[in-house]
Chains A and B, each alone.
Chain A
Amino acid sequence: MPKILLVEDNEMNRDMLSRRLQRRGYSVVAAHDGEQGLSMARSEMPDLILMDISLPLMDGLQVTRLLKNDEATRHIPIIALTAHALVTDRDKAFEAGCDDYDTKPVEFGRLNEKIDTLLTVKKL
Chain B
Amino acid sequence: MILQNLSIKRKLTLITMLTSSAALILSALSFLIYDLVSFRHLLIQDLKTQAEIIGYNSAGAMEFKDVPAATATLAALTAKEDVVAAGLYGKDNKIFARYSHNNNVLPTLLPAYLEDKGYRLEGGYVQVFHDVTLNGERLGTLYLESDMRQWSVRAKRYAGILCIFVLISALFALLVSSKLQRLISRPILHLEDTMRIVSTNRNYEVRAQKSYGDEIGRLIDGFNTMLSEIQQRDMALRGANDQLKSRTGELEKEIQYRMETQEELLKAKHAAEEASRAKSTFLANMSHELRTPLNAIIGYSEMLEEETRESGKSDSVQDLRKIQSAGKHLLALINDVLDLSKIEAGKMGLHLENFEVAPLIDEMVHTLQPAAAKNSNTIQVQIAADVHAMRADVTKVRQILFNLLSNACKFTDHGVVSIDVEQNKIEGNECVRFRVKDTGIGITAQQKQNLFHEFSQADASIARRYGGTGLGLAITYRFVQLMKGRISVESEPGKGAMFTVDLPAQVIAESPESAKSAANDEAAAPSAESKPHKDTILVIDDDASVRDLTSRFLTKLGFQVVAAANGEEGMRLARQVHPLVITLDVIMPECDGWTVLKKLKSDPALAEIPVIMVTIVDNEAMGIDLGASNYLIKPVDRDRLAVLIEKHRADRSASITGAPSSPFIATPQRGPKQPERRTRGKVDHAEDLVSRG
Contacts and interface: CB of A to CB of B under 8 A. Distances in A.
Q: Do A and B truly interact?
A: yes
B292 A10 contact: yes
Interface string B82-107: 00000000000000000000000000
A88 interface: yes
A107 B299 CA distance: 8
Contact of B668 (A84, A95, A107): A95
A95 B667 contact: yes
A97 B668 CA distance: 9
Contact of A110 (B300, B527, B683): B683
Interface stretch (B369-377, B577-585, B670-678): B670-678
A52 to B, nearest CB: 10
Contacts of A94: 668-671
A20 B689 contact: no
A20 B306 CA distance: 10
B620 interface: no
A121 to B, nearest CB: 7
A77 B303 CA distance: 25
Given A94-B671, A104-B295, 15 more contacts: A10-B292, A12-B296, A13-B292, A23-B306, A84-B284, A84-B288, A85-B691, A86-B523, A87-B351, A87-B527, A87-B685, A101-B671, A105-B331, A106-B299, A117-B676
Interface string A83-124: 111111011001101111111111110100010010001000
Given A13-B295, A23-B306, A90-B684, A103 B691 contact: yes
B291 interface: yes
A88 B673 contact: no
**10 smallest beta-carbon distances between A and B, as pairs:** A105-B295, A85-B690, A12-B296, A103-B690, A16-B299, A85-B689, A83-B288, A83-B291, A99-B671, A88-B522
A32 to B, nearest CB: 14
Interface residues on A, range: 35 or more
B508 interface: no
Most chain A beta-carbon neighbours within 10 Å: one of B293, B523, B673, B687: B673
Interface string B314-329: 0000000000000000
A85 B303 contact: no
Given A83-B292, A88-B523, A16 B690 contact: no
B525 A88 contact: yes
Contact of B299 (A20, A83, A86, A98): A20
Contacts of B683: 103, 110
A85 B669 contact: no
A19 interface: yes
A19 B291 contact: no
Contact of B291 (A12, A23, A104, A107): A104
Most chain A beta-carbon neighbours within 10 Å: one of B523, B528, B671, B689: B671
A17 B292 CA distance: 13
Interface string B216-232: 00000000000000000
Contacts of B671: 94, 98-101
Given A85-B689, A88-B522, A105 B291 contact: yes
A82 to B, nearest CB: 9
A84 B287 contact: yes
B297 to A, nearest CB: 8
A110 B683 CA distance: 10
A23 B303 contact: yes
A77 B496 CA distance: 49
B613 interface: no
Contacts of B294: 105
A92 to B, nearest CB: 9
A86 B687 contact: yes
Contacts of B295: 10, 12-13, 16, 83, 104-106
